[in-house]
Structure 1
Amino acid sequence: MHPTPPRASRTNLWFAILIALIVISLLAGLGMRSPNPPDEPRFVLAARHMVETGQWLLPHRGSELYAEKPATFMWIQAATYKVIGDWNLSFLVPSLLAALLTLWLTWDMSRRLWNRQIARYAVVGLFVCIQFGLMAKRAQIDMVLVAMTTLALWGLVRHLLLGPNWWALALAAFAAGAGTVTKGVGFLPLLMLLPWLAWRWRHPQAVGPGRSWGWWLLLPAFLAGTAIWLGPLVIALLQNPEPHLQAYAKELLFKQTGTRYANAWHHHQPLWYYLQVMATLWLPGSLLVPWLLPAWWRRCRRADPRYILLLGWALLVLLFFSASPGKREVYILPMLPALAVAAAPLLPGLLRRTSVRWLLLLYVLLLAIATLVVGYGALHGDGWAQRNAIKRAIDPWVLPQIGWWLIGFGAASLLLVAVLRLRRAGLAVVLSTVLLWSMYGLGAMPALDPYSSASLLMDKVRERIGPDAQLGMVAWREQNLLQTHPQATDFGFKRPVAEQWEDAARWVTADPQRRWLFVLDKAMTPCADRSQVIDIGSANRNNWQLLPGTALHADCVAKTHGVVVGGDEAVENSGD
């Protein structure tokens, strides 16, 4: 064996240290906060229901079936809780592990397509993009979906560019199937076959997988992936033809997939929306676009299949999501690892350019100045921070705490700029990103958590009604129900508020001395004795009230059919 050159050993050591810092920054804050809206509380509610009832097939949001997403992600969270035993710790673990898996797959894909040096650039290039770190530290489906789509891309690349490798193809199809029953767009990696077919048509003599029976693995492997969730669901539908189960399957398989894509009823955005997302949430990587696009174009014109497949697939995904009227910034996140792999071979050359170094150093400098300004405003209780604190009912004493964390980050980033200077601008970007996610996890999120998670408000509710009282909820939000211990009684989430009041009145009448109702202020019924209504507080830009059971006139509710001030429209528009 040949000994490793000293310079290579030092490079490996420094890269290992850098990877350790990246992992530590993603771990920072784990277990230090509760689920925050909009998405985290509903997933944890469903996962907790599975654990407590033993019914894992159909996720529930309170007393209602939750038919907006497949159960796969909630299964992962519930299984993580069974291992760890603490919800505040376990609910974030799936996203963390998915982020680490995505980083490894990005490294290995780049290593196989180019070399280890290029693979290092791919990993750090992916990590520094803001949206990647943000989703790695949130318990949403999207980071797990990205891990599955990247695994599928990894298998396709190994088969189409480095193969034939039929087992890698089968793994890719299985991952795409599993991704589809995690979030409906998990099949998108298979679109990579389209640019590959176009390239093979132009280069029929190229080495690679040709005609073979192995291609038949695609469909059964994909179906096997979808069977993780669809299999149990189909069996349940065949054995139990109850209407509520049929309605659940119809809602999820049709309305929440095809209808949501072709005729979305919310999150409407213009055609160019994702260009704005990439320009902002993919910073600082998006700063390199003026150099990357021409270089990519030249390599595609030379018919380099690595770029044709990676960039062609990313373009197809962008077109796919842009064609739908409903758009959210997280939808295009699966593109990011593929673009990081495609950009990695160009980064060593770009980082030798003085103009690129200045641009990256300016990014760190502006980020530091911005956090210093916001932190200073938070310390002195004025400006943007103060206005947002008032809007979200955040106690004044919290702002200085957050302000010091922001100032610490800004000062440390300025120190990086001063020490590393222009020569190591790329390293300054990576280390400032490590500091950013460490500050976010250890400082900002724990300080804001009592307000974002509504735990402070629900503590006030428990204190006000006493330990022996029972709580019911009308026009509630998921974070409010999640923070009740024991879990409060609800009367439906998506049901019309009028029907919720009817059930609430019957529930209260059974024991009016011990039962209370937690109600959104806009949904309060005129059948309540207003003199006894308690304004208990605000959370997530909503105002909440408590109603003693003795203050609700049940006969009035029955006569008015639960008509409330503002009606359902007011409740729907008051969401977070």
Structure 2
Amino acid sequence: MASTAPHPNPLPKAERELVSERRQFWLLMLFAIVMLGIGIGLRDPWPSDEPRFTLAAKQMVESGDWLFLHRGTELYADKPPMLMWLEAASFEIVRNWRVAFLLPSLLSALGTLLLVYDLGRRLWNRKTGMYAAMAVLMCIQFVFQAKRAQIDPLVVFFITAANWGLLRHLLCGPNWKLFWFGCFCAGLGVITKGVGFLALFMLLPYVWATLRGWNGVATMGAGAWWRWPLGLVATLIAIALWLVPMLLIAHAHADNPIYAAYVNNILFHQTAGRYAHAWHHIQSPVYYLPIMVYAWLPLSLTYPGSLPSWWRALKAKDARIFLPLGWMVLVLVFFSASAGKRDVYILPIVPMLALITAPYLEEMLNARWLRLLCALFVAAMGTALLALGMYALTTHPAFAAKLAYTRGFDGPQNCLWWMCIVIGAAQWILLAFFRLRRAHWALAGGMLALWVVWGLWAYPLLNDSSSSAGLMANVRAHLGDHDEIGLVDWKEQNLLMLDRPAIDFGFSAPTSQQFTQATQWQVAAPATRWLFVQEPAMGHCVDRSKAIDVGHANRRNWWLFKADAVIPGCVPAANADDDETGD
């Protein structure tokens, strides 16, 4: 008889499950990296905020001043410097602004996913951690912001890191080092966007749960009272990393009122003043309720199942649900109380929402109602994009031409509509393949297809018009090697994409004042000095026949001219287009 070699002992079931879960985790991270990172390097900063922050970071690198942000010749006091620090540091590593300006957002989003995964794993199990991270990825607003170089992905990361440290201490602890770490991250969130302190609201539901004897809260011991105030110390240390040197340098320039105005603006006007007396984005008290539905699709499809589950958990006094949920409510109330509201303000809620949804996701996905909602969502998105693309291709509607003109897009418009058709077709193909039984897989694939096509197709297609790269290339083409250029009523993308030295006459100064100073500068060397001006700022003070219409971009017309085109003694009226967020 032929001998048979003995088979090695199979791995124990628990170990096999662990290997499988680890494999699934790395597949999830690969999925996340592709979804969030695809397209990096294929575009420049797009308005409204990206060029502003990248310009400040670029000037930081060029000037060596890492404490006071600049926008051209002016100090920029609207935001703390954390994002700009990270963009500048990224550039010092990769030496490419197209990559560097998006790296902080990508790393912040990936870090947020890892933190949510770890919380789900420790509070429940690895599968729950996987569901929690995937739930965050299945939120359109989260991914959209993660693919932009704005402050919000970074502040979401710091607030989530703070929540991670606090919840590890409050529910899995005691672990005072992680508590202090969480408080420190809250301070980093403060010097990122001012609202990082919101993470500390987590202590309020913890106090309630402790007093009411909820299940799962960690017992700290009576002798630990002195450790709690050290959390505040950790928060203040993080804030002091920027605040103390900034105040010292500002004090050293006490004879310059510009620095005093900077300190007042960034510490008071843009924080408490903006919250208590908002001057723009005025919305109703219930503004965020629909945002939590449509902006958080498809994650919000789980509400019909998660709301009853949370209620049952609260009745069972489960602190794992109560602390994050109570924190979410407090943050929502905080932002709703201010008259000024923007959809991104409540984005830090999403990771905690995903965390407390994850324990019930497997049960919900086994239910027909959620698979049906997933299928309907994929079908609706696919149908809408297919219909839009085919309608625009076949009828050439007026709105398509108007959209292309207002955005300065002079490329082939058909490419835009074919992009819609490709995304829409991908949704239907995935739905047909996975069918209702695995509709959630079709939804995940559909989201991936959307963001992959957006990154690989829309980025290069729209970049020249959206970033003003095409406009400023046209401007450079008219300048000689020894010519100089001055900017009037300019936008950050103009200076950023000009890619050569320029003179500006302030950014926030009245446009008539800028124009007057610019023409005085120009007459000192009329043969070599050009002015680049937004059309309304010119008024009737420029002879258009002697000026060059360099193009339309970001909903604005732009002109280039020398001194012979300026009507002597003419001062244009003030330009009303001063909204920085209008892009």
* Contact in 2 for aligned 1:380/1:400 (Cα 8 Å): no
- Of 135, 149, 167 in structure 1, the residue corresponding to residue 177 of structure 2 is 167
Change (3 A) 1:572 1:432: closer
Alignment correspondent of 2:270: 256
Shift of 1:7: 6.3
* Native 8 Å contact 2:170 2:218 kept in 1: no
Check if 1:453 corresponds to 2:463.
no
What is the 5 A alignment of 1:547-562? 547-553=561-567, 556-557=569-570, 562=571
Residue 21 of structure 1, CA deviation: 2.2
- Map 1:278-297 to 2 at 5 A: 278-297=292-311
- 2:98 match: 88
User: Is the partner of 2:559 in helix, strand or coil?
Assistant: strand
- 1:502 corresponds to which residue? 516
1:309 to 316, 323, 328: 323
Counterpart of 1:112 (choices 104, 116, 122) is: 122
Name the amino acid aligned to 1:238: H
CA distance in 1, matches of 2:551, 2:456: 27
Match of 1:265 among 279, 294, 317: 279
For 2:146 and 2:195, locate their aligned partners in 1 and report how far apart those are by CA, in whole Å.
19
**Matched letter for residue 229 of structure 1:** W
Aligned residue for 2:4?
A: none
User: 2:113 corresponds to which letter in structure 1?
Assistant: L
2:395 and 2:274 map into 1 onto residues whose CA distance is 43
Q: Structure 1: which amino acid aligns with 2:220?
A: P
Range that drifts further, 77-86 or 276-285: 276-285
Check 1:157–1:387 CA distance in 2 against 1; reply closer, same or farther (3 A cut). same
Residue 151 of structure 1, aligned match among 154, 161, 182: 161
Give the equivalent residue in structure 2 for 1:35. 45
**What percentage of aligned pairs have identical amino acids?**
44
- CA apart distance, 1:401: 2.3
Structure 1 residues 127-136 or 11-20, which shifts more?
11-20
Task: State how 1:118-517 maps to structure 2 within 5 Å.
Answer: 118-203=128-213, 207-211=218-222, 212=224, 213-241=226-254, 242-380=256-394, 382-383=396-397, 385-397=400-412, 399-517=413-531
Q: What is aligned with 2:534?
A: 520
Quote the Cα distance in structure 2 between the aligned partners of 1:100 and 1:346. 23
Comparing 217-226 with 403-412, greater Cα deviation is found at: 403-412
- What is the aligned partner in structure 1 of residue 7 from structure 2? none
Matched, 1:61 2:74: no
- Give the letter aligned to residue 540 of structure 1: N
Q: How many aligned residue pairs are there?
A: 568
Question: Out of 564, 575, 582, which is 1:568 matched to?
Answer: 575
Which structure 1 residue ranges, 5 or more long, are not aligned? none
Checking the alignment, whether the CA contact within 8 Å between 1:535 and 1:545 is kept in structure 2 is yes
SS at match of 2:40: coil
Partner of 2:8: none
Partner SS, residue 532 of structure 2 = strand
TM-score normalised by L of structure 1: 0.95
Structure 1 residue 376 displacement after superposition: 2.5
Does the 8 A contact of 1:377 with 1:386 survive in 2?
Answer: no
Between the aligned partners of 1:108 and 1:512, the Cα distance in structure 2 is 64
Identify unmatched segments of 5+ residues in structure 2. 1-10
Q: CA deviation at 1:381?
A: 6.6
Task: Quote the offset at 1:4 in angstroms.
Answer: 5.0
Normalised by the length of structure 2, the TM-score is 0.93
Q: 2:211 is aligned with what amino acid? A: W
CA contact (8 A) 1:77 1:94 kept: yes
The one-letter amino acid paired with 1:392 is R
Are residues 573 and 161 of structure 1, via their aligned partners in 2, closer, same or farther at CA, if it must alter by over 3 Å?
Answer: closer
Cα deviations across residues 155-198 of structure 1 (Å, max 9, x unaligned)? 00011111111001100110000100110111100001011111
Regions of 4+ moved over 6 Å: none
Q: Distance in 2 between matches of 1:148 and 1:431?
A: 29
AA aligned to 1:142 is: D
2:169–2:218: 8 Å Cα contact kept in structure 1?
Answer: no
CA contact (8 A) 2:411 2:461 kept: no
Tell me the CA shift for residue 207 of structure 1: 4.1
The answer to whether the 8 Å contact 1:514/1:549 transfers is no
Give SS of 2:551's match.
Answer: strand
